[in-house]
Amino acid sequence: MKEQIETIKQEALDHQVPIMCDESIEYIVINLLKYRCKSILEVGTAVGFSALSIASAIPDAIITTIERDEIRYVKAINNIDQLNLSHRVNALLIDALDYQCTEMVDALIIDAAKAQNKTFFDRFFPFVKPRGIVIVDNLDFHGHNEHIDMLTNRRNLRQMVNKIKAFEDYVNNRADLDVERVFVGDGMMLIRRVGHSFNFNE
């Protein structure tokens, strides 16, 4: 299965499909195992690389992953079928803003339109179990966050970077959240509710 996943990764890179780097996947898997996360909602499937990597590393993980781009979704479905993981990885073709979550999950992974991080967080965080976690990827946005003052002639990019930073400020200023910012991959964030450590009955 590892060879198949490596092939999926290489094909994505060859076609310039944005996917998580190996370090980011490793960080996610470590924390999913640490907090005993089995049910996972992923916003942003792309071609299924991250979901399949997680499913491969955690045999009892059940992942629902949503994607709005039909071409990437079709490729993800093919990849899931090739690895015979359709019983544990459920890919859905839908805009995250239209998806109606109906079940509580152990973990939420946000790796989609960066300007919508806050919207996705507010929409799906109520469905994360009290002791669950949220992981947000790509917060450094290819290094632009550190050099925002140099984006004076790139208005759209500057606006996106400002929205990413505004989301960081939003979660950091919430007294009910414990936020860990890590410089793994392109910048990641682990978010948990304050006061819920290892009560796995919640």
Q: Are 36 and 193 in contact (CB under 8 A)?
A: no
**Alpha helices per DSSP H over the chain:** 2-14, 22-34, 49-57, 70-82, 117-124, 155-172
Query: Can you give the residue ranges of every domain in the chain?
Result: 2-193
Q: Distance (Å, rounded) from C-alpha 148 to C-alpha 61?
A: 38
CA dihedral of 100, 105, 107, 109, whole degrees rounded to 10 = -20
CA nearest neighbour of 66 among 113, 10, 31: 113
CA distance 164 to 96: 18
What is the fold, at CATH topology level, of the domain defined by 2-193?
Rossmann fold (3.40.50)
Tens place of pLDDT per residue across the chain (202 aa):
889 999 999 999 999 999 999 999 999 999 999 999 999 999 999 999 999 999 999 999 999 999 999 999 999 999 999 999 999 999 999 999 999 999 999 999 999 988 899 999 999 999 999 999 999 998 986 544 444 444 455 566 778 888 899 999 999 999 999 999 999 998 999 999 998 765 555 5
**Identity of the amino acid at 150:** M
